[in-house]
Amino acid sequence: MAGNAGAGAAVGPPMPHVADFRGLVLFAVGRTPVTLGGVIAGLTIALLFFLAARLVGVVLRRLRDRTSRGREALYIVQKLATYGLALLGVMAGLSVTGLDLSSLAVFAGAIGVGVGLGLQGIVKEFVSGLVLIFDRVLNVGDFVEVADQRGMVQEIGPRAVRIRTNDQIDLVVPNSKFIEGPVINWTLHNTGRRIHIPFAVASGADRKAVREVVLAAARSVPFTRPETETHKSQVWMTGFGDSGNNFELVVWPTLESVKRPGAMQAAYIWAIADALEAAGLEVASPQIDVRLREVFGLEGEAALRALKLDKVKSQATARTGPIPGDNDAAEELSRPIAAPLPPPEPERP
């Protein structure tokens, strides 16, 4: 019985070998055959390199978020490491597949034509991104103004720069916009900038009093920098307007307040208005003076009493001092500004 069982087991088709399955030829490039096993091995190698690039990028990004110095250098290292590992993964995968890279000259020419026709925009943005990273005139955390949009740089990617405005709106601006057109980097050297706040005072106001009152108001604002020989707060008279005299407050705010230009300017305007009203200086406004000479044979105060306008005039004259209220813009600038947020990490399977 045992002999019969052994003989029966020996009869039958042989089992296929795994080596034969992996050696299945899918196609050939020139004289080089491409097997299924080579494709699987090449994809595995490329996937490992891509995972390594992602891991290195996450580690360097977390290290950059925890350090206060050398963040720009770490960002460059992060981009070089991720791009380099991804490129090495592609080259190693093709080599393990069995393809001779020198035999792909014809296909490289075809790819070059495709890049020149259909992918030139992508290549343009990628090269512009590399220029931005190495040129270092634009760094993560800078407050910039481009194409009439202002915000803080969150990320310099291979295709676009991600900017977040003070209203928490994310803008995706192509990299080429920072290369081809003018860009204002408000915090490039971390020194801040001087700003001009225009205002107007009614004609006839004492110019010296206006200067002293507005300078005192500017110095009382908490985010005004201490004055030095090169950074002084000043009040300039810039011209004569139709309804009054035009002035400008020239002041140096702190670097953090510069990153919020809208709230910063509103805070200074509010402080100037409060100071002028408290000092009894009239803010200029469009107006037309009508001189009433005679009404029903009456003139001056008698004419006003006849028209019952004397009470209105007395109420307007009795009003003194600033209008009650809080400077919300100044309070907005006292909040700590949000740090650049890292891009979201990919979900793990």
φ/ψ region of 215 (left if φ > 0, alpha if ψ in -120 to 50, else beta) reads alpha
For residue 103, how many C-alpha atoms fall within 13 Å in the half-sphere facing its CB?
Answer: 12
Burial tier of 5 (Cβ tally within 10 Å: 0-12, 13-18, 19+): exposed
Query: Predicted confidence band at 308 (pLDDT cuts at 50, 70, 90)?
Result: low
Question: Is 286 a residue whose pLDDT tops 90?
Answer: no
Smallest CA-to-CA distance from 273 within 230, 226, 218, 319 is with 218
Check: CB of residue 147 under 8 Å from CB of residue 263.
Answer: no
Query: Predicted confidence band at 212 (pLDDT cuts at 50, 70, 90)?
Result: very high
Contacts of 87 (CB under 8 A, 6+ apart): none
Query: pLDDT of 18-43, one tens digit each?
Result: 445 566 666 665 566 677 777 787 78
Check: CB of residue 259 under 8 Å from CB of residue 152.
Answer: yes
Total Cβ atoms within 10 A of residue 169: 10
* pTM of the predicted model over 0.85: no
Which regions of 147-207 does DSSP assign to beta strands (E)? 149-156, 160-164, 170-174, 184-185, 195-202
**DSSP 8-state class, residue 12:** S
Query: pLDDT of 319-339, one tens digit each?
Result: 444 434 456 666 666 666 655
Domains and CATH numbers, the chain: 21-118 (1.10.287), 135-185 (2.30.30.60), 195-289+320-334 (3.30.70.100)
